[in-house]
């Protein structure tokens, strides 16, 4: 093990973290501004998995509330996640080995996403466990992943596509707003299709099976 390689690798990691924090701040402020007419709170960043020195996935949650009263309840969540690497898979996905931003929306008090290095994995497969311990598979409609039963969903953008605030608005915040408002995937994501990490075809086959 070369000390120079270690030094350069860690230096690259720190530079990457600083860049990601800057992008994350832009995304956070843009989401809060976009939904300022609703009761929404920024729950800040958290490490999604415990990997000691290196955290390959960080998530930021935004909670929508039923009201601004003391007994208000959370009605839904926006969850954005920086997935810097992912677990291997026997299946192939053209975007599997890219660092990405995952943008999801879930309904209910427990609707925040638990992304991971295996959600989605390098093959584009995404499967989680519900509150009852039953597997929840996320299939594709060609643009985003959607839960088979819960109907929570997420889409993905490669990190290198987010170079400025305008990119964040066009590729993340605007389509997120349109999808939450009930527009179809084609309406919300069709115009930016070429900029997305589209789900792999084999996830569409699962949805049709």
Tokens 């608005």 correspond to 169
* Interatomic CA distance for residues 15 and 96, integer angstroms: 23
pLDDT score, position 112: 82
Query: pLDDT by residue for the chain (209 residues), tens digit each?
Result: 688 888 898 889 888 888 888 999 999 999 999 999 999 999 987 766 565 567 788 899 999 999 988 889 999 999 999 999 999 999 999 999 999 999 999 999 887 888 989 999 999 999 887 767 778 889 999 999 999 888 899 999 999 999 999 999 999 999 999 999 999 999 999 999 999 999 998 777 555 44
Q: What is the dihedral of CA 166, 169, 172, 177, to 10 degrees?
A: -170
pLDDT score, position 156: 98
pLDDT score, position 209: 43
Cβ-proximal residues to 62 (8 Å cutoff; 6+ apart), any chain: 28, 31, 32, 35, 40, 41, 42, 43, 77, 78, 79, 80
């Amino acid at each position: 093990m070369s000390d120079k390689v270690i030094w350069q690798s860690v230096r690259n990691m720190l530079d990457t973290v600083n860049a990601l924090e800057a992008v994350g701040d832009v995304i956070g402020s843009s989401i809060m501004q976009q939904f300022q007419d609703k009761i929404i709170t920024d729950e800040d960043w958290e490490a999604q998995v415990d990997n000691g020195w290196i955290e390959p996935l960080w998530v930021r949650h935004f909670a929508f509330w039923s009201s601004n009263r003391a007994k208000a309840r959370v009605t839904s969540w926006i969850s954005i996640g920086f997935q810097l690497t992912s677990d291997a898979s026997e299946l192939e996905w053209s975007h599997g080995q890219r660092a990405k931003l995952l943008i999801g929306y879930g309904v209910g008090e427990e609707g925040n996403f638990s992304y991971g290095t295996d959600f989605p994995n390098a093959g584009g497969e995404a499967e989680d466990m519900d509150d009852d311990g039953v597997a929840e598979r996320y299939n594709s409609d060609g643009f985003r992943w959607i839960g088979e039963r819960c109907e929570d969903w997420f889409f993905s953008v490669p990190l290198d596509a987010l170079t400025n605030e305008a990119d964040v608005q066009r590729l993340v915040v605007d389509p997120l707003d349109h999808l939450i408002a009930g527009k179809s995937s084609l309406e919300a994501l069709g115009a930016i299709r070429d900029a997305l990490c589209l789900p792999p075809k084999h996830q569409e086959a699962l949805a049709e099976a």
